[in-house]
Chain A
Amino acid sequence: MTTHTSISLQGSIRILISVFALTLPFSATAGEEIEETLSIPEDGLVAVENLAGSVEFVAWDRAEVQIRGEAGDTVEDVEIGSTASGVTVRIINRSGERQIDGTDLYLRVPEAASIEAETVSADISVSGSHGKAISLRTVSGDLQVDASPQRIELKSVSGDVEFEGSVPRSAIETVSGEIVVVGAHDEIAASTVSGDLSLEAGEVRRGRFEVVSGDLVMSLAVAEDGRLNCDSMSGDVRLSLPAGQQGNFVAQSLSGDIHSDFGKSSQVSNGPGVILEHQEGQGGAKIRAETFSGDVSIRRQ
């Protein structure tokens, strides 16, 4: 009982320390140099918000975050805070400015740290990280990730998105930007409206890919019990699979063509369009590709 009370007290002290003692506000204004180094847990979270300019994360082997940069001319305040779980950086700009002067930020972060960043027009890049998660969101900036985290979530409106590395869970979304992914596997969801989507993946257990007018070009393998869904409106779907890929294939297009090395397509019996339904081997994988007016191509590698 006494021991239990003692542990609780220690826990309470630890919480108080983490809440009060580790909050270290940093402040800078327009034109000032930003240079700060803070300790965080190796698997802590580094979160950055920056309207314009750039944000660059580079992993290193220290349990510290180093933040460097120069505040843009329209910056009202730079807030850098630390808690027990990580570090946050916010670049606050004055409102009403006709043009925001961007702030370029350069951060060194622990290799196992998770990373979050949100920008409007700032480009974001990450390299060397293998933390739990990387979550990046921008409007017109480009996203570039060369890393091997456990999970990525990349969102852009008009910027391009590039990933290279190894990741078992990924969600990528853009509107008019292009998506290029190399090295994702297991669970992948990616969508774009007018940009093209290009993917070189490993074995996929759950894959969902959606384009509207862009093309979908993919090279991957579907796991034995995997599910692959490819949807396009007017863009083409070009899928390259291992020669020995087994599974159930379904493809349909209303006004486009279907070319497949796995089964043959035929006219839909009770309506417009062409359809392919085919079982290859005994595998339980389900592979589906549908377009409204684009073509579907399913080829053996």
Chain B
Amino acid sequence: MKKTVGEQELLRRIGDLPREIEPRNDPWPTIAARIDRTAERRPGSGGARTWLWRAAAASLFVALAAGLLIGPRLGDLPTVTSGDTVASSAAGDLRLPATLAANEAEYQAAFREFITVGRARQGLSPQTIDRIEAGWADLRDTEDALTAALAESPGNAFLTARMMELRARQLGFLQQLAALDQDYRRLTT
């Protein structure tokens, strides 16, 4: 119990930390200038390259988040339900930007192990399970719609940003399910 209080205090202190810290020097203008100079030397390149570098950084961040935050927590979660491994999407078949495709691979790998509520399922009412599954179905429907739109407009910055936001939401959803399993285990003997 003392350990729990210690953790709570630690979490509270973490919560008190500033959400954003402005860097003393913003390195991006220098990096962007270098990229632009490189782009000028290459035929057929343009402003889109600057965006792609930003997308690459964001994709790497999401991929790392999937690996660091989610992967290790999933290893010991048992899969209770059959067919819960929701293989995602035709997204991998599309001609996505390379950075987004790499992100997709990481996401799929993390996701295959993750869609489970473990032992907690027995503590949930059918209505709750329905609502959780409906929430996930909404995310999947949106994913399908975005995937189709990206197929028509590959490389569209707006759509790519939406897809990455959706991935973040999906991972957040899965994190909540993992936390549910952990809570259930902690509160039962």
Please report A residues at the B interface, Cβ cutoff 8 Å: 19, 23, 25, 45, 47, 49-52, 76-77, 79, 81, 83, 85-86, 88, 90-95, 98, 100, 114, 116, 118, 120-121, 133, 137, 139-140, 151, 153, 155, 157-158, 173, 175-177, 187, 191, 193-194, 206, 210, 212-213, 231, 233-234, 252, 254, 268, 271-273, 290, 292-293
Please measure, in the bound complex, the distance between the C-alpha atom of A79 and the C-alpha atom of B3, giving whole angstroms: 14
Q: Mark B161-178, 1 if CB is under 8 A from A, else 0.
A: 010011001001100110
Cβ A212 vs Cβ B138 within 8 A: yes
Q: Which residues of A contact B159 (CB under 8 A)?
A: 254, 292
Chain B residues touching A, range: 35 or more
Q: Number of contacts between A and B (CB, 8 Å)? A: 160
Q: Mark B115-132, 1 if CB is under 8 A from A, else 0.
A: 000011011110110011
Q: B interface, by DSSP: helix, strand, loop or mixed?
A: helix
Q: Taking the nearest CB of chain B, how far is it from the CB of A275, in angstroms?
A: 9
Please measure, in the bound complex, the distance between the C-alpha atom of A271 and the C-alpha atom of B161, giving whole angstroms: 15
Q: Is B40 an interface residue (CB 8 A)?
A: no
Q: Which residues of A contact B179 (CB under 8 A)?
A: 137
Cβ A191 vs Cβ B169 within 8 A: yes
Q: Taking the nearest CB of chain A, how far is it from the CB of B41, in angstroms?
A: 24
Q: Which residues of A contact B172 (CB under 8 A)?
A: 173, 191
Cβ A120 vs Cβ B183 within 8 A: yes
Please measure, in the bound complex, the distance between the C-alpha atom of A19 and the C-alpha atom of B125, giving whole angstroms: 40
CB within 8 A of B120: which of A118, A120, A213? A120
Cβ B169 vs Cβ A157 within 8 A: no
Q: Which residues of B contact A114 (CB under 8 A)?
A: 12
Q: Say yes or no: A175-B15 contact (C-beta < 8 A), given A116-B8, A120-B120, A121-B124.
A: no
Cβ B138 vs Cβ A213 within 8 A: yes
Q: Say yes or no: A271-B153 contact (C-beta < 8 A), given A81-B1, A92-B187.
A: yes
Among B22-30, B104-112, B140-148, the one that faces the other chain is B140-148
Please measure, in the bound complex, the distance between the C-alpha atom of A297 and the C-alpha atom of B127, giving whole angstroms: 33
Give the residue name and chain of the B residue nearest to A81 (CB).
B1
Please measure, in the bound complex, the distance between the C-alpha atom of A218 and the C-alpha atom of B34, giving whole angstroms: 42
Cβ A51 vs Cβ B124 within 8 A: no
Q: Which residues of A contact B15 (CB under 8 A)?
A: 133, 151, 153
Q: Taking the nearest CB of chain A, how far is it from the CB of B149, in angstroms?
A: 7
Q: Say yes or no: A120-B125 contact (C-beta < 8 A), given A155-B176, A158-B131, A193-B135.
A: no
Q: Which residues of B contact A45 (CB under 8 A)?
A: 5, 8-9, 12
Cβ A95 vs Cβ B188 within 8 A: yes
Q: Taking the nearest CB of chain B, how far is it from the CB of A143, in angstroms?
A: 14
- Selected A-B contacts with CB under 8 Å, 11 pairs: A47-B8, A83-B5, A118-B183, A121-B128, A153-B15, A158-B135, A193-B138, A212-B139, A254-B159, A268-B158, A292-B149
Q: Which residues of A contact B122 (CB under 8 A)?
A: 98
Q: Which residues of B contact A273 (CB under 8 A)?
A: 158
Additional 16 contacts, C-beta under 8 A, given A50-B187, A51-B184: A25-B1, A51-B188, A83-B2, A98-B122, A120-B123, A120-B180, A137-B183, A139-B183, A155-B176, A158-B135, A176-B135, A194-B138, A268-B158, A272-B149, A290-B158, A292-B159
